Amino acid sequence: MDSTLVKAIARAFRWQKMLETGRYATIKEIAKAEKINPSYVSRVLRMTLLAPYIVEALLDGRQPTEVTLTVLMRPFPVAWEEQVEAGFSRI
C-alpha cells in the first residue's frame, strides 16, 4: 500500500467535505489554512472525481506500481467510463 497516496486521498475527501459544509469557501482558503500551495490543493481535490471502485482499489493497495500520487495528480477524465478507457481499468 502506498501510504502517500492513501494520505492524499484522505485529504482530498476531507477538503471536499470542508468545501461542502461551508467551513471554507474556496481552495485558496483551504491552502492558506493548511499552509500549502492552492495548486496542490486543487490537484489533490481532483482525486474525489475518481470512480468509487478506483478509490477503493487505491486504498486497498491494488493499483499497479506505476500508479503513484504523481500520476494521479495529472489531469484525467472526469467521467468514470472515460477513466476506464484512459487505462484506469487496470487498477
- The tens digit of pLDDT for each residue in 36-53 reads 999 999 999 999 999 998
- pLDDT for 67: 85
- pLDDT for 66: 83
Q: Where are the beta strands (DSSP E) in the chain?
A: none
- pLDDT for 27: 98
**pLDDT exceeds cutoff 90 at 24:** yes
* Mean pLDDT value across residues 62-78: 88
- pLDDT for 65: 83
What residue type is assigned to position 17 of the chain?
A: K
| Closest listed residue to residue 6, CA positions, set 75, 55, 64, 77 | 55
Distance CA 9, CA 47 (A): 7
Predicted model pTM:
0.86
The DSSP output letter for 35 is: T
- Tell me if 6 sits within 8 A of 63, measured CB to CB: no
